Structure 1
Amino acid sequence: MHFHSKEHEIGFKQFCERDKTNMKDVERRSLFYIFSGSELLHRNIEMLYHFEDHTIRLEAYNEAFLTGGTRSLVDLAFSLYGSDAECEIRYLFNTLDDRNSVLALQAIKYRFQIPVEIVDLK
């Protein structure tokens, strides 16, 4: 798994440990990968995920900090988790900067177990 930074990796591991997430639970791990890779989402994890119930907080959509690319990342995370949240791919990548685009692509690859290696198709 590719992490943007040591903080991203540490945050991901902390979320998984706190939730007692099974290694095979790629849905939840993809969610935590996105949340730990965004400083704003990491700081606001309690508004996004209920660790005691092991559920996402759909009411997070009402939070003022969810705008533009941040909201798109939450849409993607909730969608990869398996909720009915809709994630429009064209809108997603139009709202993300380069760093968060890579974060989104890596989460998608992880969720669907696509090999991380990049293949040259020439």
Structure 2
Amino acid sequence: MDFLNTEHQVRYLDYITRDSTYDGDVERKAFFYLLAAHETRDIDRIYDFEERSIRPEVLDNGLSHGEAILIKFAFHLFNGWECESIIDMFSTLSGDLRNAVLSAIKIRFKME
């Protein structure tokens, strides 16, 4: 698994450890990989580690367009949540986050 930087890897490992994500859970691994790619992300507003579930109400809390797109796509990889088109997503996100999206897709569909 390739990471954008050391901080991305540290956040990802923290998330899967806190969640006790097992190795074969590609949905959660892709979800956490993508969310860990954005350094300002407050994971506890997005995911409930005790219930092991997403918190869709985060989408109603004044996110930027790019943040909302990224979170919706992470939800989509996790459970099929409706998200924006690939064109809208890629025209909004930066190069590093575009690469993280592609890597998360590869994780989710076991393409690595």
| Percent identical | 33
Cα distance in 2, alignment partners of residues 84 and 11 from structure 1: 23
- Calculate the TM-score normalised by the size of structure 1: 0.87
Contact residue 11 and residue 36 of structure 2 kept, 8 A = yes
Greater RCO, CA 8 A, separation 6+: 2
Residue 88 of structure 1 aligns with an amino acid whose one-letter code is S
Aligned counterpart, 2:90: 93
1:113 Cα deviation after fit = 1.1
Residue 45 of structure 2 corresponds to residue 47 of structure 1 = yes
Cα distance in 1, alignment partners of residues 73 and 37 from structure 2: 13
Moved over 6 A (4+): none
Q: Which runs of no fewer than 5 residues in structure 2 stay unpaired?
A: none
Q: Which runs of no fewer than 5 residues in structure 1 stay unpaired?
A: 116-122
Aligned length: 112
Cα distance in 1, alignment partners of residues 35 and 101 from structure 2: 11
1:54 Cα deviation after fit = 0.1
Residue 56 of structure 2 corresponds to residue 58 of structure 1 = yes
- Calculate the TM-score normalised by the size of structure 2: 0.94
1:40-80 Cα distance to aligned partner (Å, 9 max, x none):
22xx111100000000001010112x212221111110000
